[in-house]
């Protein structure tokens, strides 16, 4: 009788762990997709900043950085 209770308890624990691993796998997959999206967005922002910096450096000869714009 004790062995059957022990076996049932072990089977229950294994089932719980298998379910837990499956849920963790699904969550890790979702997190991986989210991280991939964030990395892509960061690369796009970096490219945009580089383009803005390039435009600013091209127009830097017109107005020094410490000079106020003409509308002041």
Phi, psi of 58 (to 5 degrees): -70, -35
63 contacts: CB under 8 Å, gap ≥ 6: 69
* The total number of residues written for the chain in this structure: 72
State residue 69's pLDDT score. Answer: 72
Q: Look at residue 10 and tell me whether its pLDDT is greater than 80.
A: yes
State residue 63's pLDDT score. Answer: 58
What band does 61 get if pLDDT is binned at 50, 70 and 90? low
DSSP string, 29-61: HHHHHHHHHHHHHHHHHHHHHHHHHHHHHHSTT
């Amino acid at each position: 009788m004790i062995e059957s209770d022990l076996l049932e308890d072990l089977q229950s624990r294994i089932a719980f762990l298998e379910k837990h691993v499956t849920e963790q796998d699904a969550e890790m997959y979702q997190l991986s997709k989210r991280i991939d999206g964030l990395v892509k967005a960061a690369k796009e922002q970096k490219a945009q900043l580089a383009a803005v910096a390039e435009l600013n450096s091209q127009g830097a000869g017109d107005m020094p950085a410490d000079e106020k714009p003409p509308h002041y």
